[in-house]
């Protein structure tokens, strides 16, 4: 049975995340899947996107031919700037991050623990080139950390774990996980499932998740 | 739509509570948000800790706030200037507290508060009375003391122009402490001489990005503290 | 008359010495001073410690400097990107050192170096492998680690416009590390797309004041690293 | 005899200081007498003046009527800005000071010791309001500190002393003292007189100075 369940698409996941971002928020989107969130902010809701390489007010992707090598996001992709944007240097940009001025950051993950520990920068493979970027600054500095990730690895292993085995990005930093199968809050009482993808019932979710889940009692 | 513009100075400062820490921009009179301070006098919040480079002049602005007995403690670098009469009197009577901080350390502590840095080392004031009781430590054979980041519940700041996002431009040396105070305050309240449309401020020239600002009020023709002083004015 | 304009990139970087610490601006290719780096390759200074967010792409710019074996050690936050081949190879062979620093800590350490702060506390990287061996300390019940200010002998920086005083404007997100690197370097060497007359830059909009800059060279039409990559170019 | 010697005027002192400032220097002038130095920079020599309240490139005083309340120096006096000036906030301004970017600062003094200790912010009088401003930042951060002061107090006491009795601004920070009577270097071997005002001979200088002086051997 489990092979038939595809869960939400990346775009559907991005829409779920976007719906949970209040109007007026300052938001940083991690590299990769989280970047999709920007396209799904509900009509009439204004959200300001920050990119740590020095821009507040990231706009939509430029049309082909209008790209500017010197107007990029943290993933080094060309972006645009909204009216009302501002540019600043890296120390000022990370003052926004580290000073607690960004409301929400959406990040990818290798592993998230039931206590909200995040591992998303290194798989600890011997000989691999370590690279951290701004991930550790974001998880310590931003008020609320959302994780957006597939529920399992390509090999079918749970990314939600009792304890991270990969090197940590931060400890007890994640508030909520958006996977292709469920939306899960990380609470003092553990992992609380808020919503499940079509077909992903309790039994199925428990079968693909390595940490205990609590479901709403209704 | 994001719109941080408040209708009036009194509305803008209405959330200030008794016991709050309030940073107030300005170096002497340049950059002092006189209208916001006067609104705070009308509002009446008491037991404030005020962080500002000076203690105000004559009987208007910050000096009037102190005279109205709303300030419990001043954190500043230069509490007496040629025209300051209110603070010195209260201080000599032991009726107001003072934490004296070197000006650069004050600016850096405010920036640190806004940048998420709880503490840093500096050589400023080593071997002086202002280093007494502070942690001393050597790096590379030189002595430094530990200073702590400063945060505030509110900042009252004057600027030249703002848009609805709270992006700010300042005027000349009236910029002084405004940008770092906006960073360090939970709620930065700004009076702007001009409100401009979003996109009117060159994104390369924005001094304070809107993320650091909570409320903006339009004060088209702000009082000159110098002129109020010359006219012998008092507030209220 | 103060005039910091050098005649050529090679003249501008001529003082770089073996063993120097060199900060290089840029985030990916945005803001990377390709012409200055190529001049440094021609110049040949070796055993450099380079501080830069990345390690360069393909076989041009910073990657070419590394490939030419002039760099002993990299201090950066993200040493591998899609197009980086040179650094990973040397690193895996143990032929280049790496100090991996979180990006915000890197920016703050550089700013601290420029601002006379020998060390500061930050929560970034607490409880991770990057905090190992670092001093841990609690402030207000939260854990922080001690990080040190970073200085350099030279900075190589790209900007959009400069005047003879060294006042600089940048272009969009190519600003990134340039301003703080100019602050932290004993000698900041800048390539500018445009040289403008003194007074042409609005004093309210100057991003890097000239005091932080030692030399400026006019590179009217700087190479696009992206284009060099697509063309499969190598330097030298 | 000593009553007849007036020494250099304030303007003459300012000229002496100005002549010792190399072209291309970044200079901060303290409040009061040091401000006069700006008027005496030799023709053809370009020097950039910094004021810690956020301006690099301080120009001459404005003509009457052209003063701007929001364009002032650290002494809160109206100034102008040169072409090529820049404005910045207080933390950036003191990064220039504390980060070692200012070449020379000229300060007034209550006392200077033979070891270069400076006391210029408080006379320690009980009940006085303490006020420090940027003096402690300047003496620790600026590469070279010049002191410009009258040789003695109005009461005739030497401002140059073996040990400061007033609270210190900084320890071992002063390089050279310009008084109305002499220019004196502070060296590892003590106070070395470089130049004396007309009529202020060795005997006279020693009579008004509380610390030992060394004179050139010529």
Chain B residues near residue C140 by CB distance under 8 angstroms:
118
Q: Per DSSP, what are the bridge partners of residue B83? A: none
Residues D157-179: b if buried by 16+ CB within 10 A, e if exposed: ebbbbeebebbbbbbebbebbbb
Closest chain C C-alpha to D43 CA, distance in angstroms: 10
Tell me the C-alpha distance between B99 and B55, whole Å.
Answer: 12
| Closest CB to D134 among B82, B103, B177 | B103
DSSP three-state, residue B180: helix
Class of residue D62 by CB neighbours under 10 A (exposed 0-12, middle 13-18, buried 19+): middle
Q: Six-digit token pair at A149?
A: 């990730």
Q: First vs last Cα of chain B: how many Å apart?
A: 37
Task: Name the band, by pLDDT with cuts 50, 70 and 90, for residue A128.
Answer: confident
Catalytic, out of D12, D19, D35, D52: D52
What are A174's strand-pairing partners? A145
Please, what is the end-to-end C-alpha distance for chain D in angstroms? Answer: 25
Distance CA C112, CA C103 (A): 14
User: D52 an active-site residue?
Assistant: yes
| Interchain pair A95, B183: CB under 8 A | yes
Q: Nearest C-alpha of chain B: how many angstroms from D143?
A: 13
For the annotated catalytic residues of A, the residue numbers are 52
Categorize the per-residue pLDDT at A1 as very low, low, confident or very high, splitting at 50, 70 and 90: very low
Q: Is B154 on the interface with C (CB under 8 A)?
A: no
Picking from C52, C21, C7, the residue whose alpha carbon sits closest to that of residue C34 is C52
Backbone angles phi, psi at B164, to 5 degrees: -65, -20
Contact C87 A129 (CB under 8 A): yes
Q: Which candidate in A52, A53, A174 is best for mutational testing of the C interface (most C CBs within 10 A)?
A: A53
Taking an 8 Å cut-off on Cβ atoms, the answer to whether A83 and B116 are in contact is no
Measured between beta carbons, which residues in chain B are less than 8 angstroms from residue A102?
211
Partner C, chain B 106-145, Cβ-Cβ below 8 Å: 108, 112, 115-123, 139-140, 142, 144
| CB-based contact B13:B43 (threshold 8 Å) | yes
In chain C, residues with a C-beta closer than 8 Å to the C-beta of A76 are 27-30, 81-82
pLDDT at residue A5, rounded to an integer: 87
Residues A136, C92: C-beta atoms closer than 8 Å: no
> Do the chains contact at A89 and C105, CB–CB below 8 Å?
no
Specify the pairing of strand B5-6 against strand B215-218.
parallel
Rounded distance, CA D163 to CA D12, Å? 28
- Distance between CA atoms of C157 and C192, rounded to whole angstroms? 9
State pLDDT tens for residues A152-198.
999 999 999 999 999 999 999 999 999 999 999 999 999 999 999 99
Could you give the domains of chain D? 10-213 (3.40.1080.10)
ipTM field: 0.97
Measure the CA–CA gap between A68 and B107, rounded to whole angstroms.
36
Residues in chain B: 236
Dist CA D104 CA D30 (whole Å):
11
Chain A residues with CB inside 8 Å of B1's CB? Answer: 46
Q: Is residue C227 predicted with pLDDT exceeding 60?
A: yes
Confidence band, pLDDT 50/70/90 cuts, at residue A3: low
- Nearest Cα residue to B112 out of D52, C112, C151: C112
Q: Scanning every residue of chain C, which has its alpha carbon at the shortest distance from the alpha carbon of D49?
A: C211
Chain B residues inside the 8 Å CB shell of A83: 198-199
* Greatest pairwise CA separation for chain D in angstroms: 53
Q: For chain D, which residues lie within 8 Å of any Cβ of chain B, measuring from their own Cβ?
A: 51-55, 68-73, 76, 81, 87-91, 93-94, 97-98, 122, 127, 129-137, 140-141, 167-171
Please give, one letter per residue, the 3-state secondary structure of chain D: CHHHCCCCCHHHHHHHHHHCCCCCCEEEECCCHHHHHHHHCCCCCCCEEEECCCEEEEECCCCCCCCCCCCECCCCCECEEEEEEEECCHHHHHHHHHCCCCCEEEECCCEEECCCCEECCCCCCCCCCCCCCCHHHHHHHCCEEEEECCCECCCCCECEECCCCCCCCECCCEEEEECCCEEEEEECCEEEEEEECCCCCHHHHHHHCCCCEECCCC
DSSP result, C97-150: EEEE--HHHHHHHHHHHHHT--EEEE-TTTTSGGGTTS-EEEETTEEEEEEE--
Contacts of residue C199 in chain D, CB cutoff 8 Å?
A: 82-84
Alpha helices in chain B (DSSP H): 9-12, 34-43, 61-67, 86-92, 103-115, 178-184, 225-230
Alpha carbons B108 and A98: distance in angstroms, whole number: 16
Secondary structure element (H or E) that encloses residue C89, with its range: helix C86-92
- What is d(CA A105, CA A98) in angstroms, rounded to the nearest whole number? 12
Predicted model pTM: 0.98
pLDDT in tens, A25-65: 999 999 999 999 999 999 999 999 999 999 999 999 999 99
A218 has pLDDT over 90: no
8 A C-beta contact, residue A57 and residue A81: yes
- Measured between alpha carbons, how far is residue C233 from residues C79, C223, C230 in Å? 21, 11, 8
C175 contacts A87? CB cut-off 8 A: yes
CB distance A47 to A25 below 8 Å: yes
The SS3 assignment for B177 reads: coil
Burial class (CB in 10 A: 0-12, 13-18, 19+), A203: exposed
Residue of chain D with shortest Cα separation from B223 = D69
Nearest to D73 by CA among D122, D27, D10: D27
Please state, in angstroms and rounded to a whole number, the distance separating the CA atoms of residues C149 and C21.
14
Nearest to D149 by CA among D60, D49, D42, D36: D36
C76: which 2 tokens? 């950066």
Per-position pLDDT tens, chain D of length 218: 445 788 999 999 999 999 999 999 999 999 999 999 999 999 999 999 999 999 999 999 999 999 999 999 999 999 999 999 999 999 999 999 999 999 999 999 999 999 999 999 998 888 788 999 999 999 999 999 999 999 999 999 999 999 999 999 999 999 999 999 999 999 999 999 999 999 999 999 999 999 999 998 76
Tokens of D52: 């810690």
- DSSP for residue A71: S
Instruction: Report the candidate in D113, D171, D175, D115 with the shortest Cα–Cα distance to residue D143.
Output: D175
Give the C-alpha distances (Å, rounded to integers) separating D143 from D68, D82, D140.
31, 24, 8
| pLDDT score of A217 | 79
The CATH homologous superfamily to which domain B5-223 belongs is Glutaconate Coenzyme A-transferase (3.40.1080.10)
pLDDT of residue D218: 62
Q: From first to last of its 236 residues, what are the pLDDT tens digits of chain B?
A: 999 999 999 999 999 999 999 999 999 889 999 999 999 999 999 999 999 999 999 999 999 999 999 999 999 999 987 788 999 999 999 999 999 999 999 999 999 999 999 999 999 999 999 999 999 999 999 999 999 999 999 999 999 999 999 999 999 999 999 999 999 999 999 999 999 999 999 999 999 999 999 999 999 999 999 899 999 999 99
Contact C164, C196 (CB under 8 A): no
Residues of C in contact with B148 (CB under 8 A): 139
Question: Do B209 and A26 lie within an 8 Å CB cutoff?
Answer: no
Only one residue has tokens 């250099």, namely D8
The distance in angstroms from the start CA to the end CA of chain C is 37
Which candidate from C116, C144, C171 shows the least CB-CB separation from B118?
Answer: C144
Region of B181 (left: φ > 0; alpha: ψ -120 to 50; beta: rest) is: alpha
Domain residue ranges of chain B, discontinuous segments joined by +? 5-223
The torsion of the CA quartet A35, A39, A41, A42, rounded to 10 degrees, works out to -160
């Amino acid at each position: 049975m489990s092979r038939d369940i595809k869960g939400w698409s990346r775009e559907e996941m991005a829409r779920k995340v976007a719906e949970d971002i209040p109007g007026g928020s300052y938001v940083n989107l991690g590299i990769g899947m989280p970047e999709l969130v920007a396209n799904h902010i509900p009509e009439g809701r204004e959200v300001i996107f920050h990119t740590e390489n020095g821009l507040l007010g990231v706009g939509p992707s430029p049309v082909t031919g209008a790209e500017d090598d010197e107007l990029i996001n943290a993933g080094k992709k060309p972006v645009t700037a909204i009216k009302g944007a501002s540019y600043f240097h890296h120390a000022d940009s990370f003052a926004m991050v580290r000073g607690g001025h960004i409301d929400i950051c959406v990040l990818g993950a290798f592993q998230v623990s039931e206590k909200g520990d995040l591992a998303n920068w290194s798989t600890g493979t011997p000989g691999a080139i370590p690279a951290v970027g701004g991930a550790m600054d974001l998880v310590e500095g931003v008020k609320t950390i959302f994780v957006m990730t597939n529920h399992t690895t390509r090999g079918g292993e749970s990314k939600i774990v009792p304890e991270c085995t990969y090197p940590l990005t931060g400890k007890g930093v994640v508030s909520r996980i958006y996977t292709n199968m469920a939306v899960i809050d990380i609470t003092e009482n553990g992992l609380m499932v808020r919503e499940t993808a079509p077909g992903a019932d309790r039994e199925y979710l428990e079968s693909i998740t390595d940490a205990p889940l609590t479901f709403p009692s209704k | 739509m994001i719109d941080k513009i408040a209708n009036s100075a009194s509305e803008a400062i209405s959330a200030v509570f008794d016991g709050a820490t309030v940073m107030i921009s300005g170096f002497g009179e340049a950059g002092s948000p006189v209208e916001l301070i006067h609104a705070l006098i009308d509002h009446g919040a008491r037991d404030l800790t005020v962080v500002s480079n000076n203690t105000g002049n004559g009987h208007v602005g910050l000096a009037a706030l102190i005279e109205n007995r709303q300030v419990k403690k001043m954190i500043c670098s230069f509490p007496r200037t040629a025209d300051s009469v209110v603070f010195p009197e209260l201080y000599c009577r032991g009726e107001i507290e003072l934490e004296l901080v070197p000006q650069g350390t004050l600016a850096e502590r405010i920036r640190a508060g806004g940048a998420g840095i709880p503490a840093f080392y500096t050589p400023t004031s080593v071997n002086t009375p202002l280093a007494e009781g502070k942690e001393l430590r050597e790096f590379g054979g030189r002595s430094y003391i530990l200073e702590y980041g400063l945060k505030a519940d509110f900042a009252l700041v004057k600027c030249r122009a703002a848009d609805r996002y709270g992006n700010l431009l300042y005027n000349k040396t009236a910029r002084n402490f405004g940008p770092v105070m906006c960073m360090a305050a939970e709620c930065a309240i700004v009076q702007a001489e001009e409100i401009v449309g979003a996109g009117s401020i060159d994104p390369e020239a924005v001094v304070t990005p809107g993320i650091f600002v909570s409320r903006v009020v339009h004060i088209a023709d702000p009082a000159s503290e110098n002129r109020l002083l010359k006219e012998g004015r008092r507030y209220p």
